[in-house]
C-alpha cells in the first residue's frame, strides 16, 4: 500500500508545492519574504502585495484587456472552427481536401515564425497598442478546425436525413443538428482556446508597449523588470496568482474536456 | 501549448487520400457509361449543367462558411512564411527605411558564425534535456498511476495541471524558488551543505534552470499520454508474462516497453517540436536577454525585437526553424506509415 502511494506522493508534492508556495508567499509581508527562516504559511496574512501590483500596473485595465482578448478571441475562433469544419465535411466542393491539407500545414507553423511579418502587417494597419491588434492575427484557427472536422466526420448521416426531407439548408443543419449533438467536442475546443488565449504572451508582448493596452502576462513581465529586489518576490507571487489561479479553477472544474483536447492525437 | 500538429497531419493525410478517391469514383461514374443515343447525350449535358450550377452554389456556400478562416490563415500564417523568405535575403534593421539585399549571407551567418553555432548548441542541449527529462519522469509517473489505487484520478489531474498554466506565471514562481539569496531551493541545498549556484548569472546554470522549469510544466502531459498507452496494453499479455515468472523489471522491458513503442515515438516527436516552440514564455521571463538560453525560437525574437533589431537575420532563422520542423514532421510521417511497434 505504502509503496504504491509514496512515489505518487513525491510527484504530487513536486507539482503542488511550488503552487502552494506561490499562494502563501503572495500573502506574506516583506519581512517574511526576506527572512532566513521561511515558513510554509504566512504568520501574518496581508494583501499589501496585491495592492502594490495594482499600483505598479493598472491592474483593473489589464485584467479587463485580458478578459476581452480571451473572450472575443475565443468566441470568434470557435465560431470559425465550427463553420470551417462543417464546410469541409458537408459542403462538397472540388479541392476541399487540398484546402484541408493547407490548414493542417498551418497547424505546424509556430507563432515565432510568423511573428515578424505579422508585426509589420499590424503596425501598417495601425493596430499597435490596440486590442484588435492583439486579437486579429491569432484568429485563423487550424487546431479547432482539425478537431471539429474529425468529430463531424464521425456523426451518422441519418442525423441529417429528416432535416433534409424538410428541405433544411446548411445553416439549419449546422446550428440545429450538428452543433447541438457536438457540444462536448465544441466545449473541448472552446476550453483549449480559452486557456491558450489567456496565457498568450509572445504576440501581445510584441504588439503592445503602453501599459493600459497590455494583457496580464505582458504586464506581469513588466512588473518583473520593475520589481527586481529580493524583497519584491511577494509582489511577483501576487502577480503570478492573478494569472495562474483563474486557469487552475477552470481546469479543476472542466479538466476532462481540457485534457482530452490537449492530448488529441495521442489518446483516443 | 498547441495540439499535436504532427499526428494531426498524418491523420489528415490518410483521411485525405481516401476522401479524394471516393470523390473521384463518384465523379467518374456518369462518364463511365457512354451515351448510346443522341437523347442520352443531351440528357447528360443537362445533367452536367445542373451539376455545374450546384457546384458553383456549393462554392459560394463553402466560402461563406470557411472563407473567413481560410483568409485569416492565408494572411497571418502563409503570407508571413513568404515574407520571411524575402526578409531573410536582406540586411535590414527593424524600423529602418532602407534595406540592402545580401543574398544568403544571413543563412551563412547563422550556420557558421560563433553566435549562430551557439544557438544550435543551446537548442540541442535544451531540447535533449527537456524531452528526455519530461519523458522519463512522465513514464515513471504513468507506471505508478497505472495501478488501481484510490485518488488516482485526482493525482493525474494535479500532475497535468502545470501544462495549462501561464508560462509567465510559472516562470515568476520558479524565479523565486531558484533565487540564490532567498529561494526555497537555496534553503533545501543548504540543508545538504551545498551552496546555491548563481542561477541567474552563470550561463550554464541558466540553461539548467530553464530546462528544470520546462520539465516541471511539461511532464504531466507526457504522463497522461503514457498512461493512456499503458492502459491500452492487454492485461492477459502481462498476466501470461507473470505466469512465466518474469519479474516486474523483466516484464517492463520485454512486454510493456515494446508495446509502448508507438507512444514513445509519438511523444518523442511531439516533445521535440514542443520544446522548440513552446518554451518562449519561460525563457523570456527567467532570462530576459538570453544569457546562455538562446534557443532557436528565443533567438528569432531577440534578434528582431531585442537590442539589435536585426530583422533580416531573424527572418532567416525563422525560415530555418520552419524547415527544421517540416523535416521532423516528414520523418515522423514515414515512420508512422511503417507503424512502429514490434508485436
In this predicted structure, what is the pLDDT of residue A3? 63
Q: Is the pLDDT of residue B226 over 70?
A: yes
Poorest-confidence range of B19-28, B199-208, B271-280? B19-28
Confidence bin at B37 (pLDDT 50/70/90): low
Question: How many residues in chain B?
Answer: 343
Q: Distance between CA atoms of B281 and B197, rounded to whole angstroms?
A: 23
In this predicted structure, what is the pLDDT of residue A265? 62
Q: Is the pLDDT of residue B4 over 50?
A: no
Q: Is the pLDDT of residue B338 over 60?
A: no
Q: Distance between CA atoms of A240 and B209, rounded to whole angstroms?
A: 18
Note whether A91 contacts B58, CB cutoff 8 Å: yes
Q: Is the pLDDT of residue A156 over 50?
A: yes
In this predicted structure, what is the pLDDT of residue A196? 92
Residue labelled with grid coordinates 550561463:
B203
Q: Is the pLDDT of residue A35 over 50?
A: yes
Chain B 264-283, residues with CB within 8 Å of chain A CB atoms:
266-267, 270, 276-277, 280-281
In this predicted structure, what is the pLDDT of residue B182? 84
Q: Is the pLDDT of residue B35 over 60?
A: no
In this predicted structure, what is the pLDDT of residue B30? 43
A74-83: per-residue pLDDT in tens? 999 999 999 9
Task: Tell which residue, B262, B259, B268, B264, has the closest CA to residue B329.
Answer: B268
Note whether A201 contacts B167, CB cutoff 8 Å: yes
Give the gap in angstroms from C-alpha A235 to the nearest C-alpha of chain B: 10
Q: What is the mean pLDDT of chain A?
A: 88
Task: Tell which residue, A149, A144, A171, has the closest CA to residue A97.
Answer: A149
* Residue B209, phi-psi category: left (phi > 0), alpha (psi -120 to 50), beta (remainder): alpha
Q: Distance between CA atoms of A28 and B105, rounded to whole angstroms?
A: 54
Q: Is the pLDDT of residue B195 over 50?
A: yes
List CB contacts (< 8 A) between B163 and chain A. 262
> Is some CB atom of chain A closer than 8 A to the CB atom of B140?
yes
> Is some CB atom of chain A closer than 8 A to the CB atom of B45?
no
Q: What angle do CA B199, B203, B205 make, to 5 degrees?
A: 40
Q: Which residues contact B263 (CB under 8 A, 6 or more apart)?
A: A266, B225, B226, B228, B229
In this predicted structure, what is the pLDDT of residue B7? 41
Mean pLDDT, residues A244-267 taken together: 82
Q: Is the pLDDT of residue A97 over 90?
A: no
Residue labelled with grid coordinates 482530452:
A260
Give the gap in angstroms from C-alpha B213 to the nearest C-alpha of chain A: 11
| A27 phi and psi angles, rounded to 5 deg | -105, 10
Quote the crossing angle between the two packed helices A48-56 and A59-90, to the nearest 10°. Answer: 80
| Residue in A closest to B221 by C-alpha | A263
Give the gap in angstroms from C-alpha B154 to the nearest C-alpha of chain A: 10
Q: How many angstroms separate the Cα of A19 from the Cα of each of A22, A31, B164, B243? A: 5, 21, 13, 44
List CB contacts (< 8 A) between B13 and chain A. 101, 104
Q: What is the mean pLDDT of chain B?
A: 81
In this predicted structure, what is the pLDDT of residue B236? 78
Confidence bin at B39 (pLDDT 50/70/90): low
Give the gap in angstroms from C-alpha A45 to the nearest C-alpha of chain B: 19
Give the gap in angstroms from C-alpha B38 to the nearest C-alpha of chain A: 29
Q: How many angstroms separate the Cα of B73 from the Cα of each of A44, A107, A143? A: 52, 10, 12
In this predicted structure, what is the pLDDT of residue B51? 66
A231-251: per-residue pLDDT in tens? 889 999 999 999 999 999 999
Name which of B51, B69, B299 to mutate to probe chain A: the one with the most chain A Cβ atoms within 10 A of its Cβ.
B69
B45-73: per-residue pLDDT in tens? 776 666 666 667 788 888 899 999 999 99
Q: Distance between CA atoms of A217 and A199, rounded to whole angstroms?
A: 7
HEC assignment per residue over B94-110: CCCCCCEECCCHHHHHH
Note whether B3 contacts A146, CB cutoff 8 Å: yes
A195's enclosing H/E stretch is helix A183-199
In this predicted structure, what is the pLDDT of residue A108? 83
DSSP string, B213-265: HHHHHHHHHHHHHHHHHHHTS-HHHHHHHHHTT--HHHHIIIIIHHHTHHHHH
Question: How many residues in chain A?
Answer: 268
Residue labelled with grid coordinates 546554470:
B205
Give the gap in angstroms from C-alpha B125 to the nearest C-alpha of chain A: 20
CB of A36 closer than 8 Å to CB of A102 = no
Q: Is the pLDDT of residue A125 over 80?
A: yes
Least CB-CB distance to B70: which of A5, A7, A99?
A99
Q: Is the pLDDT of residue B27 over 50?
A: no
Which domains does chain A show, CATH number per domain? 24-262 (1.10.3720.10)
> Is some CB atom of chain A closer than 8 A to the CB atom of B177?
yes
Percent of chain B whose pLDDT exceeds 70: 83
A147's enclosing H/E stretch is helix A143-154
C-alpha cell read off for A9: 506522493
Q: H helices then E strands: how many in chain A?
A: 15, 0
> Is some CB atom of chain A closer than 8 A to the CB atom of B111?
no
Q: Distance between CA atoms of B91 and B82, rounded to whole angstroms?
A: 17
Chain B 248-267, residues with CB within 8 Å of chain A CB atoms:
263, 266-267
Give the gap in angstroms from C-alpha B44 to the nearest C-alpha of chain A: 20
Mean pLDDT, residues A213-229 taken together: 90
| Residue in A closest to B66 by C-alpha | A84
DSSP string, B279-314: -HHHHHHHSTT-SS---HHHHHHHHHHSSS-BHHHH
List CB contacts (< 8 A) between B225 and chain A. 263, 266-267
Note whether B267 contacts A139, CB cutoff 8 Å: no
Q: Distance between CA atoms of B65 and A88, rounded to whole angstroms?
A: 9
Note whether A4 contacts B149, CB cutoff 8 Å: yes
C-alpha cell read off for A135: 486579437
Q: Is the pLDDT of residue B342 over 60?
A: no
C-alpha cell read off for B22: 471516393
Least CB-CB distance to B166: which of A224, A243, A258?
A243
SS3 B93: strand
ipTM for the assembly: 0.92
B80-107: per-residue pLDDT in tens? 999 999 999 888 888 778 888 888 888 9
Give the gap in angstroms from C-alpha A226 to the nearest C-alpha of chain B: 13
Name which of B156, B165, B231, B330 to mutate to probe chain A: the one with the most chain A Cβ atoms within 10 A of its Cβ.
B165
SS3 B91: strand
Q: Is the pLDDT of residue A117 over 90?
A: yes
Name which of B7, B77, B97 to mutate to probe chain A: the one with the most chain A Cβ atoms within 10 A of its Cβ.
B77
Which CATH architecture is the domain B114-337 placed in? Orthogonal Bundle (1.10)
- Beta bridge pairs of residue B91: B100
SS3 A129: coil
C-alpha cell read off for A88: 469541409
> Is some CB atom of chain A closer than 8 A to the CB atom of B308?
no
Q: Which residues contact A105 (CB under 8 A, 6 or more apart)?
A: B9
Note whether B168 contacts A120, CB cutoff 8 Å: no
SS3 B327: helix
Mean pLDDT, residues A113-124 taken together: 92
CB of B284 closer than 8 Å to CB of B301 = yes
Residue labelled with grid coordinates 513503442:
B261
In this predicted structure, what is the pLDDT of residue B21? 38
Residue labelled with grid coordinates 502587417:
A121
In this predicted structure, what is the pLDDT of residue B50? 66
Note whether B301 contacts A115, CB cutoff 8 Å: yes
B239-258: per-residue pLDDT in tens? 777 777 777 777 778 778 88
Top-ranked range on mean pLDDT: pick from A59-63, B200-204, B230-234: A59-63
* Residue B53, phi-psi category: left (phi > 0), alpha (psi -120 to 50), beta (remainder): alpha
Q: Is the pLDDT of residue B34 over 50?
A: no
> Is some CB atom of chain A closer than 8 A to the CB atom of B19?
yes
Mean pLDDT, residues B274-278 taken together: 85
In this predicted structure, what is the pLDDT of residue B40? 66
In this predicted structure, what is the pLDDT of residue B336? 63
C-alpha cell read off for B69: 478562416
In this predicted structure, what is the pLDDT of residue B22? 41
Mean pLDDT, residues A11-34 taken together: 91
Confidence bin at B17 (pLDDT 50/70/90): very low
In this predicted structure, what is the pLDDT of residue B235? 77
Give the gap in angstroms from C-alpha A255 to the nearest C-alpha of chain B: 7
Q: Which residues contact A260 (CB under 8 A, 6 or more apart)?
A: A188, A267
Q: Distance between CA atoms of A199 and A216, rounded to whole angstroms?
A: 9
Q: Distance between CA atoms of B224 and B156, rounded to whole angstroms?
A: 7
Task: Tell which residue, A17, A44, A12, has the closest CA to residue A30.
Answer: A44
Amino acid at each position: 500500500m505504502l509503496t504504491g502511494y509514496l512515489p505518487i506522493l513525491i510527484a504530487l508534492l513536486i507539482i503542488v508545492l511550488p503552487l502552494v508556495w506561490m499562494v502563501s508567499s503572495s500573502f506574506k509581508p516583506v519581512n517574511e519574504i526576506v527572512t532566513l527562516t521561511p515558513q510554509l504559511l504566512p504568520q501574518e496574512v496581508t494583501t499589501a502585495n496585491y495592492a502594490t501590483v495594482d499600483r505598479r500596473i493598472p491592474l483593473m485595465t489589464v485584467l479587463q484587456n485580458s478578459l476581452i482578448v480571451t473572450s472575443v478571441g475565443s468566441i470568434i475562433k470557435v465560431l470559425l472552427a465550427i463553420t470551417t469544419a462543417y464546410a469541409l465535411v458537408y459542403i462538397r466542393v472540388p479541392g476541399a481536401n487540398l484546402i484541408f491539407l493547407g490548414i493542417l500545414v498551418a497547424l505546424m507553423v509556430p507563432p515565432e515564425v510568423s511573428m515578424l511579418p505579422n508585426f509589420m502587417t499590424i503596425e501598417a494597419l495601425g493596430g499597435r497598442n490596440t486590442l484588435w491588434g492583439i486579437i486579429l492575427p491569432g484568429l485563423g484557427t487550424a487546431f479547432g478546425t482539425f478537431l471539429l472536422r474529425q468529430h463531424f466526420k464521425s456523426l451518422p448521416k441519418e442525423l441529417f436525413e429528416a432535416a433534409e426531407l424538410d428541405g433544411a439548408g446548411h445553416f439549419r443543419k449546422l446550428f440545429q443538428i450538428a452543433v447541438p449533438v457536438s457540444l462536448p467536442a465544441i466545449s473541448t475546443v472552446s476550453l483549449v482556446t480559452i486557456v491558450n488565449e489567456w496565457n498568450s504572451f509572445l504576440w501581445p508582448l510584441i504588439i503592445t508597449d503602453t501599459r493600459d493596452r497590455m494583457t496580464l502576462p505582458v504586464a506581469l513581465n513588466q512588473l518583473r523588470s520593475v520589481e527586481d529586489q529580493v524583497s519584491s518576490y511577494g509582489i511577483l507571487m501576487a502577480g503570478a496568482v492573478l494569472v495562474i489561479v483563474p486557469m487552475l479553477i477552470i481546469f479543476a472544474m472542466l479538466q476532462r474536456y481540457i485534457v482530452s483536447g490537449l492530448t488529441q492525437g495521442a489518446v483516443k | 501549448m498547441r495540439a499535436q500538429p504532427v499526428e494531426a497531419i498524418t491523420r489528415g493525410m490518410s483521411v485525405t487520400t481516401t476522401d479524394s478517391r471516393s470523390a473521384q469514383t463518384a465523379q467518374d461514374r456518369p462518364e463511365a457509361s457512354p451515351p448510346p443515343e443522341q437523347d442520352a447525350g443531351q440528357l447528360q449535358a443537362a445533367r452536367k449543367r445542373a451539376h455545374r450550377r450546384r457546384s458553383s452554389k456549393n462554392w459560394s456556400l463553402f466560402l461563406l462558411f470557411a472563407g473567413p478562416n481560410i483568409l485569416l490563415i492565408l494572411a497571418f500564417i502563409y503570407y508571413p512564411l513568404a515574407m520571411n523568405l524575402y526578409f531573410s535575403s536582406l540586411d535590414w534593421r527593424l524600423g529602418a527605411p532602407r534595406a540592402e539585399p545580401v543574398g544568403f549571407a544571413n543563412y551563412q551567418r547563422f550556420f557558421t558564425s560563433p553566435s549562430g553555432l551557439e544557438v544550435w548548441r543551446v537548442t540541442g542541449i535544451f531540447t535533449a534535456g527537456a524531452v528526455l527529462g519530461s519523458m522519463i519522469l512522465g513514464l515513471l509517473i504513468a507506471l505508478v498511476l497505472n495501478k488501481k489505487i484510490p485518488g488516482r484520478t485526482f493525482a493525474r489531474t494535479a500532475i497535468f495541471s502545470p501544462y495549462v498554466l501561464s508560462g509567465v506565471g510559472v516562470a515568476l514562481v520558479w524565479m523565486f524558488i531558484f533565487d540564490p539569496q532567498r529561494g526555497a531551493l537555496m534553503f533545501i541545498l543548504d540543508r545538504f551543505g551545498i551552496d546555491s549556484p548563481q542561477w541567474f548569472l552563470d550561463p550554464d546554470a541558466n540553461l539548467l534552470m530553464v530546462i528544470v522549469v520546462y520539465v516541471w510544466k511539461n511532464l504531466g502531459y507526457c504522463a497522461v499520454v503514457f498512461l493512456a498507452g499503458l492502459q491500452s496494453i492487454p492485461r492477459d499479455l502481462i498476466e501470461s508474462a507473470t505466469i512465466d515468472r518474469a519479474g516486474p523489471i523483466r516484464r517492463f522491458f520485454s512486454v510493456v516497453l515494446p508495446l509502448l513503442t508507438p507512444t514513445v515515438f509519438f511523444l518523442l516527436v511531439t516533445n521535440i517540436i514542443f520544446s522548440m516552440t513552446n518554451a518562449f514564455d519561460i525563457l523570456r521571463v527567467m532570462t530576459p536577454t538570453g544569457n546562455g538560453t538562446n534557443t532557436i525560437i528565443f533567438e528569432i525574437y531577440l534578434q528582431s525585437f531585442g537590442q539589435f533589431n536585426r530583422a533580416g537575420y531573424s527572418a532567416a532563422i525563422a525560415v530555418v526553424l520552419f524547415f527544421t520542423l517540416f523535416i521532423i514532421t516528414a520523418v515522423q510521417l514515414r515512420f508512422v506509415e511503417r507503424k512502429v511497434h514490434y508485436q
